[in-house]
Structure 1
Amino acid sequence: MARMCFVPLPLLLLLLAISGHAFDFQEATIDSIQLAFEDGTLTSRQLTEFYLERISSLNPLLHAVIEVNPDALRQADVADRERRTTRRRGGLHGIPVLLKDNIATRDRLNTTAGSFALLGSVAPRDAGVVRRLRRAGAVVLGKANMAEWADFRSLSAPSSWSARGGQGRNPYVLGADPCGSSSGSAIAAAANMAAVTLGTETDGSIICPSDKNSVVGIKPTVGLTSRAGVVPVSPRQDTVGPICRTVSDAVQVLDAIVGFDEQDSAATKAASKYIPHGGYKQFLKVDGLKGKRIGILRAFFNYSSDGATKTRVFEEHFNTMRRNGATLIDNLEIANLSTILDVSQSGEQVALLAEFKLALNSYLSQLSNSPVRSLADVIAFNNEHTAEERMEEFGQIIFLAAQNTTGIGPAERSAIAKMSELSMEGLEKLMMENKLDAVMTAKSGAATVLAIGGYPGISVPAGYGEDGVPFGICFGGLKGSEPNLIEMAYAFEQATMVRKPPSFKQ
């Protein structure tokens, strides 16, 4: 990880105390940061220095960050100068952001999807979401660790491991699974290494790590955020979303990154109709549960461990929602759920393998410079670098299966059609028949239901098991239902206030 010169954290805090500044960096939100910027008790440079020192201190333990940006402090200084000259760009102005390592930047940072195969590659331009963040005045702090190749290389590699970043660790219970593939983003947000991080999801990669690390993750409707410049798995299912500590922070980030992108024109144009006039922040309502009809999918509330504890916690949450005006429709079942959750039966496996090869080859071919230009090149690289990529332990069986595909043929089209039918006869029919505003699930397995249909979901902290491992609750809905989901997620968060800082328990 790149090293930088900055004021050591104890000295920084001492200097702030001596000068009368009392800003609390821990659990700081976008709103509290902007207030401190406004009244002069904090600068973007000081905030960036805090996060850089925090990363330096915690990353050897957590492996949440692959590298930090050597230009982060310069960007922070620019933001400070802009504020002094009355140019204010909005809520993210001067806020440091960690990007998952599959989100490309055209700067001195690498974009490698956690693999040594892409080390030194040069993107032709910033990813679409990064361009929007820069326009909003955000500071690109660095790249977060992730499951290598978004957990699409091997069936045996841990879901939060990459060759470049190592094994990500859950900051609440270090031996617990932090989940992937956006593990580094969630770990960093949970451990106060940044207030704002971005993740990506194909199937569960925002929802699951948010659930396991007691943070808020928004998986947007596919196409709501641009995937241009993101190392892909499937253009049909890939989406980019925020992972933060609060619903408000995540929503403010969502506002900054949604919208049309010429480089991802078909998907972003189709989804642009869902973006509400005035943005998403208007839906942060403490009474957002009032009048909502929410379906409880009990299949996702069955736990093999801490079952009694978690059942009690969720029943309390259900009662809280009812007291806040929600109508809960219990014991709902999605048609053909077992088929949906089995990637070999649903068609997801067949489709993803072919889509991955096509999309990755396209991404690699467009790089300005790269050691690899195709999936075949990546496979060969791994075979030549067995030690660095831990090939003997983990292999690359998914890569090999994808390489054997020959495009989107009859089998793949049939698989995609089957997933569409499962979605229409499953979640869509269930919601329409019961007049639901959302469904509510626990455990990240429900993410597959959302993934194959391109549907949105928001994961919010719900509690902690007897072992201290966090668990969340997920509000999911149909395409474009983010306003409803935000209202419910925010109202639930404000009524429960479950989240607490991590304990780093061994």
Structure 2
Amino acid sequence: MPLPDLLYATIDDLQSGLAAGTFTSLDLVKAYVARINEVNPVLHAVIETNPDALAIATSLDAERARGSLRGNLHGIPICIKDNIATLDKMNNTAGSFALLGAIPPSDSTIAAKLKAAGAIIIGKCNLSQWANYRSSNSTNGWTSRGGQTMGAYYPMQDPSGSSSGPGVVSSIGLAAAAVGTETSGSIISPASRNSLAGIKPSVGLTSRYLVVPISQTQDTIGPLTRTMKDAAYILSVIAGKDSHDNYTSAIPFESVPDYAAACNSQGLQGAKIGIPRNAITVSATNGPEITAFNASITTFEGLGATIVDNADFPDLAGYVNFTGAGYTTDPVVGADFVADVANYFNEMTTNPNGIKNIQQLINFTETYVPEDYPDRDIARWLSAASLNITMGDPNYYTALLQQYYYGSNATILGALEKYDLDALIIPSSMAPGYAAIAGYPIVTVPLGYYPASTNVTYNSRRTLVSLGPNFPFGLSFFGRRFSEATLVKYACAFEAATNYRQLQHPYIIPNIQLVDVM
């Protein structure tokens, strides 16, 4: 068999080569680690690699040779975000020195499931520090431990966040796939900006046990991959109930679906898809996204879907007024963080810095020079710490119920029910906030790229290009809670018909391929 190009290789491609004996998992680990070493000095997408990855690959190759296979991920190298704990020689720090050397009592549930399925966790991906819940003036993809992640589609590209590293790792084949986390936008945004498929699962579909938290009411874990089928493979492995996370008890099925089973070109036949037109805003710079989104309607109709335009959110004004204070002052997220981050620190069996609560975390960050304080502030922590609300207060539950209303009946669920729809579509740049506050799922696929004539815009620090030529963007699907199987089916059909990921290459691509290490 010919060797697959690792820029494009899917999990099926890799499994075919492994099954045929064309290459081994050991070869794959060597190639991916070499690719990381080749471009990481520029892109800073990986914080650290797994020193045991070669030994793990050798063991899994031996299992394969004995005829024992664990599933679709057997022997497949992946990279996970540096806030998903592993009990091995790697750290889990959310990009902060505050957690360097901290040892969890076990693997996180997500890491344990990946390992049990035969995946090789070859490294920890960089991110926006503390999953973008620290500063009001930092940048997507920056951590004190890992430096500044940059996207590969334009020099100094803002990779989006907070799963910045997973996005870049998948986009240029530094691993077969990556796993990230989302509280509001942290999978969907970097997947979109790196021309990837991404799944932000319903809150409760994937366990958060021993994942550095922001908010138990909004946090979720999901894949960022080069194809939707690969994302579906990973979701089937990491989804499911976990006694350590009681949000997973809401899962309405006993057996996790085979999310890849319906991944084919016919998936949109008979689907009724709505467009919440009142939630789609046109700006001075997003014209290419709007044009491409509107053009996609013809594609959907050609694939057998019925499009209901102007399937508006029924109480968008209420949502806008409710969320006007912004993510940084959200009392639910703030109260969650104060409690949840303390719980995480106190779970550690080894905690070198002795941090037990948010105030001690604040003190450490203000005084430990590599944390780059005060140049990068701690505004979100200060806001959370000053809240006169805790998770047990009546005011907390009042705010939480409001969130659930504005993220469901007022917006996503309201439109689905009013217009009798199977799903909604929206540009990915506009998707995250609605689904975040009620824990609804989002699935994104590539939709296009900004033209070469796009004016270059820099961030406030002038350290990243926030918009420029060839920047990717995506299309997102909304659905009811735990409707991931349906959304994946629709996304697979759209992806198969358009294949937008292949239309534009990154400007920086690793040269090393399998042939170089075999």
Compute the TM-score of the two structures, normalised by the length of structure 1. Answer: 0.92
Shift of 1:480: 1.3
- 2:14 is the counterpart of 1:33: yes
8 Å CA contact 1:306–1:465 kept in 2: the answer is no
Q: Which of 273, 283, 290 does residue 294 from structure 1 map onto?
A: 273
Alignment deviations for residues 83-137 of structure 1 (CA, whole Å, 9 cap, x no partner): 0011111110000110100000000100000111111111111010111111101
Question: How big is the shift at 1:407?
Answer: 1.6
User: What residue number does 1:136 align with?
Assistant: 117
Kindly indicate whether the alpha-carbon contact (under 8 Å) linking 1:350 and 1:411 is maintained by their aligned counterparts in 2.
no
Corresponding residue for 1:477? 479
| Residue aligned with 1:440, SS | strand
Structure-2 change in CA distance of 1:381 and 1:338 (3 Å): farther
| Rounded Cα–Cα distance in structure 2 between residues aligned with 1:124 and 1:286 | 44
Which is further off, 338-347 or 35-44? 338-347
- In 2, Cα distance between equivalents of 1:274 and 1:209: 30
Cα shift readout 1:243-286 (whole Å, capped 9, x = no counterpart): 1110000000001111111211x211211x24666521212131
Taking the aligned partners of 2:181 and 2:157, their CA distance within structure 1 comes to 21
Higher fraction of helix: 1
Which residue in the other structure is 2:212 paired with?
231
Which of 487, 490, 503 is matched with 2:489 structurally? 487
Aligned equivalents of 1:168 and 1:277: distance in 2?
A: 34
Alignment pair present for 1:330 and 2:314: no
Summarize the Cα distance change of 1:351–1:278 in structure 2 as closer, same or farther, 3 Å threshold: closer
**Is residue 79 of structure 2 the alignment partner of residue 94 of structure 1?**
no
CA distance in 1 between counterparts of 2:431 and 2:476 reads 8
Corresponding residue of 1:365: 346
Identity across matched positions, percent: 37
Q: Does 1:316 align with 2:318?
A: no
Q: 1:420 to 1:308 in 2, by over 3 A?
A: closer
Look up the match of 2:367.
384
In the alignment, does 2:381 pair up with 1:399? yes
**In the alignment, what sits opposite 1:437?**
422
Out of 298-307 and 234-243, give the one that drifted further. Answer: 298-307
Aligned length: 484
**Structure 2 SS opposite 1:394:** coil
Mean CA deviation greater in 138-147 or 419-428:
419-428
Instruction: Measure, in 1, the Cα distance between the counterparts of 2:508 and 2:16.
Output: 33
Cα 1:303–1:66 shift into 2, 3 Å: farther
Tell me: CA distance 1:145–1:312, structure 2 relative to 1, closer, same or farther (3 Å). Answer: same
Match for residue 157 of structure 1?
138
Q: Distance in 2 between matches of 1:345 and 1:411?
A: 16
Partner of 2:61: 80
Partner of 1:504: 507
Retained in 2: the 8 A contact 1:298–1:332? yes
Please say if residues 190 and 502 of structure 1, whose CA atoms lie closer than 8 Å, have aligned partners that are also in contact: no
Structure 1 position 426 matched with structure 2 position 407: no
- Say yes or no: does 1:283 pair with 2:262: yes
Can you list the C-alpha shifts for 1:299-322, whole angstroms capped at 9, x where unaligned? Answer: 454443555443332233210110
Change (3 A) 1:382 1:311: closer
Alpha-carbon shift at residue 424 of structure 1 (Å): 1.9
CA distance in 2, matches of 1:89, 1:359: 34
- 1:97 match: secondary structure: strand
Which residue number in structure 2 is paired with residue 5 of structure 1? Answer: none
Q: Find the aligned partners of 2:489 and 2:255 in 1 and give their Cα distance.
A: 14
Q: What amino acid sits opposite 1:316 in the alignment?
A: A
- Determine helix, strand or coil for the equivalent of 1:173: coil
- Is the alpha carbon distance of 1:54 and 1:339 closer, same or farther for their aligned partners in structure 2, counting shifts above 3 Å? farther
User: For residues 386-439 of structure 1, what are the alpha-carbon distances to aligned partners after superposition, in whole Å with 9 as ceiling and x for unaligned?
Assistant: x31111211101111212235222332221121122222322121101011111
Aligned mates of 1:374, 1:296 — CA distance in 2: 44
How far apart are the structure 1 equivalents of 2:326 and 2:40?
39
Native 8 Å contact 1:198 1:242 kept in 2 = yes
One-letter amino acid of the structure 2 residue matched with residue 486 of structure 1: V
Work out which of the residue numbers 394, 398, 408 in structure 2 matches 1:410: 394
The structure 1 residue matched to 2:99, chosen from 118, 121, 126, is 118
